[in-house]
Amino acid sequence: MIQRWNPSVIGPPVGQYSHLASAPADHELLFVSGQIGSRLDGTMAADAETQSRQAHENLAALLAEAGGGPEHLVKMFTMVAGTEHLPAVRAGRVELFEKWFPEKDWPAHSLIVVAGLAAPHILIEVEAVAAIPR
């Protein structure tokens, strides 16, 4: 079972993440490339909130394809193109995180704001590491 925790040696997390996460030896590590808000037909979701939701849904679909699910996430890394998109990106993630992690047992997670991503219309990109049971 993946373990996630927040030791009392530092302050509590300021968002939806755990300070530490570890994977047991009987799990295979899965590295997921950055997911963006593109739909199955290749079209891009219109705004930062829907791109965020779509990127996270794409992540969940890839985890399912590999035999896992969001509960197997160990670490996430989110890149947002500009501070003006932060509230919408978070809004797109909050509902899914509440569904995926009802016990608030969130994976380790870092978020950075960048000047831009691979193309001007891409507003969010999410990478992940998961631990899938063998």
| Angle between the N-to-C axes of helices 48-65 and 86-100, in degrees from 0 to 180, rounded to the nearest 10 | 40
Domain boundaries, the chain: 13-133
Q: Given this model, what pLDDT does residue 12 score?
A: 97
Q: What is the C-alpha to C-alpha distance for residues 2 and 133, in angstroms, rounded to an integer?
A: 10
Question: Two tokens at 124?
Answer: 């969010």
Tell the CATH superfamily of the 13-133 domain.
RutC-like (3.30.1330.40)
Question: Two tokens at 20?
Answer: 């530490």
pLDDT 10s digits, 12-52: 999 999 999 999 999 999 999 999 999 999 999 999 999 99
Q: Given this model, what pLDDT does residue 58 score?
A: 98
Side chain identity at residue 109, one-letter code = H
Compute the average pLDDT of residues 102-110: 96
pTM listed for this prediction = 0.94
